[in-house]
Amino acid sequence: MSDGKQFQLDAEQQQLLDHADKYAREQLYPLAQRMDEEEWWPQHAFREMGELGMLGVTVDPRYGGVGMDLLSAGLIAQALARWNHAMALSWLAHDNLCANNIFQNGSEWVREKYLPGLCSGELIGALGLTEPGAGSDALGSMRSTARREGDGYLLNGRKMYITNGPVADIVLLYARTDPAAGNQGISAFVVETDSPGFSTARKLIKMGFRGSQTAELALEDVWVPRSNLVGTENQGVKVVMSGLDYERAVAAPISLGMAERALELSVEWAKTREQFGQPIANFQMVQAKLADMYTWIETMKVFIYQVLAASAAAGPEAAGHGRIHMQTAAAVMYAANMCNKVLDEMLQIHGGVGYLWETEANRLYRGNKLLEIGAGTTEVRKMIISQGLLA
């Protein structure tokens, strides 16, 4: 389905979206305010999602997964983000950045050891790539090291902005195994967070997505067995690139889900909020804002679905270069930019009440900037697209 002809979901895909939406609305939405106010994490949520088939979405059933494609994963992300975008982000880090990457690149031993727990929700996963002082240039500026020690490696360093960091059981973590080789001297490891020397240096307090736990991680002589190497030594860049494009493809629906909820809230508020003796929905300027929001969301939806379908058809070997590299960067960039516009109009429609911290509109609005920064900033996304065009 990479020919661009898929403009709407089929019956099975719509059923999946509705299934995830119902769960998120009934079970995760009631948790959203407390998660935001207290940066609280509901320990039971991932196990529930595992039982309902919303974890291990792209993982083969022989490892406990569901065996669906990236479009299916994107639909779950969209539904979760409608009702609890913080949980959607944690789900993305767990299911796509960690579980899917291990499935695509891990040895049979690593798959059999870790994927069943990740798919059931017994284990919570994270990705450990970014470091203090290393954001967009995460690979080139990486300082964490992994030195051979017996039948394994000693890992030292720090990781920054790690989604699920404070609650993760395992981290797919990158470190330099050959410092002299630049980006070609990086390796990927599955690291268990209860390993001696592994710690949460600090939990990070954020402006938005507050319920999604984020941390700086510290590694001080953390010993990891050679069997926990993901891919081959010094080939971590391949592991990164095989996952990053598809992270972007599945991250884009989070913007879509948040924008959909913002429009819903705005319509409800416009119908009930009265000024000058009538609902503000009667004013043409408000109607124009709602019309723009709807149009932006519908164009987001078509583009996101097309790129997800193309990514699913292309497979992991197409990641990191060519058309898929450009498309996924464009999809996540466009989705984040349009979501920002939708959320801005939502706050304008809500007026003063939208500026209050405790409102859902405010919670959504505070999340918008992360969507333009995470998984590569807007500027990095533009670089990827333009470099592809000029190649």
User: Which of 236, 239, 244 minimizes the C-alpha distance to 384?
Assistant: 244
Catalytic residue flag (residue 247): yes
Q: Exactly one of 39, 131, 216, 247 is catalytic; which is it?
A: 247
Q: Per residue of the chain (391 residues), what is the pLDDT tens digit?
A: 344 445 688 999 999 999 999 999 999 999 999 999 999 999 999 999 999 999 999 999 999 999 999 999 999 999 999 999 999 999 999 999 999 999 999 999 999 999 999 999 999 999 999 998 776 677 778 899 999 999 999 999 999 999 999 999 999 999 999 988 888 999 999 999 999 999 999 999 999 999 999 999 999 999 999 999 999 999 888 888 777 888 899 999 999 999 999 999 999 999 999 999 999 999 999 999 999 999 999 999 999 999 999 998 887 777 777 888 899 999 999 999 999 999 999 999 999 999 999 999 999 999 989 999 987 889 999 999 999 999 8
Its pTM stands at 0.94
Residue 309, token pair as written in the block? 């379908």
In this structure, are residues 362 and 309 in contact, taking their beta carbons and an 8 Å threshold? no
Burial of 289 (0-12, 13-18, 19+ CB in 10 A): buried
Maximum pairwise Cα distance, the chain: 78
